[in-house]
Amino acid sequence: MVFQQIIAGIITGSLYAIVALGLVIAYKVTGVMNFAYGYMGMISAYIFFTFFSMIGMNYILSFFIAIAFGAFVGYAVERRLLRPVRNISPASMVIITLGLLLVLEGVALQIWGNNYQQIPNLLNGLPLILRFEGGIIVIPQQNLLILGVVTAVIIALILYLNLTFQGKAMRAVAQNEEIAKLMGINSSLMMSISWIISGSIGALAALLVAPQTFVYPDMMLSLQIMGFTAAVLGGFESIPGSIIGGISIGIIENLVGTYISTNLKTTFSLAIIVAILIVKPEGLLGSAKSRRV
Amino acid sequence: MKKYLWFIPFVLVPLPFLGYPFLLSIFVLIGIYTIAAIGMDVLTTWAGQISIGNAAFFAVGAYTSAILVVNFHVPFLIAFLISGLFAMIIGIVVGLPALRVSGFYLAVVTMAFGIAVQQIIGVFQITGGYNGIRNIPVPSFWIFKASNPVYQYYVVLTIIFLIFIVLSRISFSKSGLALFAMRDSEIAARAFGVNLLKYKLAAFAASAALTGLAGSLYASAIGFISPSQFDLTLSLDLLAMVIVGGAGSVMGVMIGAAFFVGLPFLLSGYNISITIIQGVALIVILLFLPKGLLQIFKIRDLFKKKVI
């Protein structure tokens, strides 16, 4: 029973973790906290719905079209909306993404309406059943798919950022844009790439969660809130931080939901997270920053 | 607002004589949101703290007042004051973490508080669960005809005016200066002997109290409350009102509230999603009128050098 809940927690948590990752990458490279992140993913889920359910295209093909669209939205938002106004204050940037959130929500309502649209699981086979002395664990195939895809994305991202030249260049821009420019790095390109990665991760998260939540304009709200919380819990600066933040929130949420209260699941989970933040104000893996007066 | 004081006797006070009761009830709603948005303004623009959980204070005020009036038959005026007081106490508790965390971390803490309050209200019996509380009576101290929007309008207008007087007093006082110093640099403020503990808690307390009072008025003006009315969107809307109208000015906040509350009524006849317009307006105003819609009234500034 406990193991079953922990496994379920890891699977929910892995979704929180990639949402957190997408937020953190965009934030580290361009300095924008993207409030509209989940809603950008939501549009991709609708694109998938349009191609798969309305036009009747192949599942995999629609999946990749939707992710490509997510990447495009990420690029367009950064390059066309946020880049031209980079010099305004960070708080104003957050408000601009908040405005974008409202626009995206309205656009989805206008085009696809307010109905809950269903999209099927990719894998519908028998669940994986593990038996051992303490009991049994049941994992549906779709959840295994989520876990597999998320792990693959995280590993690919770590390899990309650490081993390729472009990944190193991106980290250099994240550390110090001016010096990276002086070293001949095309920082403008790196910013675009970071948002392309972020946008496609957001689309991926939306597509993975869509069979469970259905597709509707607010479908990504809770995932976005929890992803943001996960990023903050992890310190808002590193990949390991986001993963640990996401998975610990997923596990806390599932254990609280089973053993303390189903109705007040989110309340108790958030209370635990707030308690952690009060004890460790810079997050689990964040570093304390010194500020100039 | 001082420059715009003429606005009160010449525009706001005579408004009811135009004779559109429906329009007046919208103005009442605008006034109520103005009070809540002033609460947000005090916290963000004055004290430099972030909150995306202010809807919870609104909910606390609304529910306290509604439960007292419906279940315990307390006179509205007393319920109104108690709801402000209760919201203030909760505001102080929420403010405590702000002493340790800031920025995104404070945003998460306040957001967590907002979501938690919404969920707690939905669970308990006395708050009516997810169905909420219906048939909240119109307050009895609105002596003449209690349900008449004209009186509601003047009551709300008077409250806003009182808040304006108190706030403008504070902003020129020593406490106000200490608050602004804290916003600009906590370390520098502390070096000059500003007690951060006191002022941060005071900012949260004031913000919560104002928002709670607005919630109490909201409950009696609308007559029906349920947890879904006090979601994250409301907190973000309050923040957006402050920015759209003009941060740091009661008049600006009022314009922002009018924009956000009035727009849905103006566009209700057209088949266009309201959030698109609100979102575009938010972006455009932030880019071209960084001081909010209030800037339009300062016509001289428009001809000066462009800001961006």
Cβ neighbours, 10 Å, residue A123: 14
Q: Do B273 and A110 touch (CB under 8 A)?
A: yes
CA-to-CA distance for A36 and B223, rounded, in angstroms? 33
Neighbours of A121 (CB within 10 A): 15
Contact B275 A106 (CB under 8 A): yes
Contact flag B108-A281 (C-beta cutoff 8 Å): no
Instruction: Give how far B229 is from chain A: nearest CA, Å.
Output: 15
- The crossing angle, in degrees rounded to 10, of helices A165-175 and A141-163 is 80
Q: What pLDDT band is residue A288 in, cutting at 50, 70 and 90?
A: low
Cα A78 from chain centroid (whole Å): 17
A9-55 pLDDT per residue, tens? 999 999 999 999 999 999 999 988 898 999 999 999 999 999 998 89
A89 has a chain B CB within 8 A of its CB: no
What confidence score (pLDDT) does residue A292 get?
Answer: 46
Q: What is the mean pLDDT of chain B?
A: 85
Torsion angle of alpha carbons B269, B275, B277, B283, nearest 10°?
Answer: 170
- Asked if A228 reaches chain B (Cβ–Cβ under 8 Å), the answer is yes
Verify whether the Cβ–Cβ distance B276 to A101 is below 8 Å. Answer: no
Which H/E stretch holds residue A224?
helix A221-233
**Integer Cα distance of A196 and A93 in angstroms:** 18
How far apart CA A197 and CA B108 sit, in angstroms, is 24
Q: What is the pLDDT, as a whole number, of residue B298?
A: 65
Q: Six-digit token pair at B293?
A: 């819609």
The average pLDDT across A107-117 equals: 90
Closest CA to B183 of B41, B82, B279: B41
Q: Which residue range forms the structural domain that includes residue A96? A: 2-279
Query: Hey, how many other C-beta atoms are within 10 angstroms of the C-beta on B174?
Result: 9
Whether A257 shows a pLDDT value over 50: the answer reads: yes
pLDDT digits (tens, 9 = 90+) for B61-104: 999 999 998 888 888 888 999 999 999 999 999 999 888 888 88
Summarised one tens digit per residue, pLDDT across range B42-65 is 999 898 888 889 999 999 999 999
Terminal-to-terminal C-alpha distance of chain A:
52
Domain membership flag for residue A191: yes
- pLDDT classification of A171: cutoffs 50, 70, 90: very high
Q: How many domains does chain A have?
A: 1
User: Is the minimum CB–CB distance between B197 and chain A shorter than 8 Å?
Assistant: no
Evaluate whether residue A292 is within a structural domain: no
Question: What is residue A129's DSSP assignment?
Answer: E
Contacts with B55 from chain A: Cβ below 8 Å: none
Alpha-carbon distance B223 to A28, whole Å?
47
Looking at chain B, the whole-number percentage of residues with pLDDT higher than 90 is 36
**For range A208-229, the mean pLDDT:** 91
Query: Which residues of chain A lie closer than 8 angstroms to B234, CB-CB?
Result: none
Residue A284 lies in a domain: no
Q: Do A278 and B287 touch (CB under 8 A)?
A: no
Residue count of chain A: 293
Question: In which element (H, E) is residue A285 found?
Answer: none
Sign of CA dihedral A144, A150, A153, A159: negative
Q: How far apart are CA B192 and CA B179, in angstroms?
A: 12
Cα B243 to Cα B255: distance, rounded to the nearest angstrom: 10
* Euclidean distance between the first and the last CA atom of chain B, given in angstroms as a whole number: 26
The answer on pLDDT for A244 being more than 60 is yes
Q: Is the pLDDT higher at B101 or at A165?
A: A165
Of A194 and B108, the one with more pLDDT: A194
Confidence of residue A164 (pLDDT cuts 50, 70, 90): very high
Decide if A287 is inside a domain.
no
Closest alpha carbon to A14 in A255, A204, A256, A292: A204
| Cβ contact A98–B120 (<8 Å) | no
pLDDT of amino acid A293:
42
Q: What local confidence, expressed as pLDDT, does residue A85 receive?
A: 84
Give yes or no for a contact between B242 and B35, defined as CB atoms under 8 angstroms apart.
no
pLDDT, average across residues B261-272: 82
Q: Which amino acid is at A135?
A: G
Work out the number of other CB atoms within 10 angstroms of the CB of residue B100.
14
How close is the nearest chain B Cα to the Cα of A10, in Å? 21
CB < 8 Å to A228, chain B: 108, 111
Q: pLDDT confidence of B146, banded at 50, 70, 90? A: low
What CATH number does the domain containing A79 carry? 1.10.3470
Contact A277, A283 (CB under 8 A): yes
Residue B40 pLDDT greater than 90, yes or no: yes
User: Among residues A22, A211, A240, which one has the least CA distance to residue A116?
Assistant: A211
* ipTM of this predicted structure: 0.84
Hey, what are B96's tokens?
Answer: 């405590």
In a domain, A177, yes or no: yes
What is the DSSP annotation of chain B? -GGGTTHIIIIITTGGGG--HHHHHHHHHHHHHHHHHHHHHIIIIIT----S-HHHHHHHHHHHHHHHHHHH---HHHHHHHHHHHHHHHHHHHHHHHTT--THHHHHHHHHHHHHHHHHHHH-TTTTGGG-B--PPPPTTS-S-TT-HHHHHHHHHHHHHHHHHHHHHHHHSHHHHHHHHHHH-HHHHHHTT--HHHHHHHHHHHHHHHHHHHHHHHHHHH--B-GGGGSHHHHHHHHHHHHHH-TT-HHHHHHHHHHHHHHHHHTTTSSS-HHHHHHHHHHHHHHH-TT-THHHH-HHHHTS----
Query: In which band, very low, low, confident or very high, does the pLDDT at B266 lie, cut at 50, 70 and 90?
Result: confident
Q: Which residues does residue A129 pair with via DSSP β-bridges, in sequence order?
A: A138
Least confident of A156-165, A250-259, B241-250: B241-250
Q: What are phi and psi of A272, to 5 degrees?
A: -65, -40
CA angle (B89, B80, B265) in 5-degree steps: 110
- Cβ <8 Å between A95 and B239: yes
Q: Given an 8 Å threshold on Cβ–Cβ distance, is A281 in contact with B282? A: no
Q: Fill in the amino acid letter for A288.
A: A
In the 8-state DSSP scheme, what is residue A1? -
Q: Find residues 242-271 of chain A whose CB sits inside 8 Å of chain B.
A: 263-264, 266-267, 270-271
Within a domain: A44: yes
Predicted confidence band of residue B307 (pLDDT cuts 50, 70, 90):
very low
Instruction: Please work out, in degrees rounded to the nearest 5, the angle formed at the alpha carbon of residue B212 by the alpha carbons of B208 and B215.
Output: 145
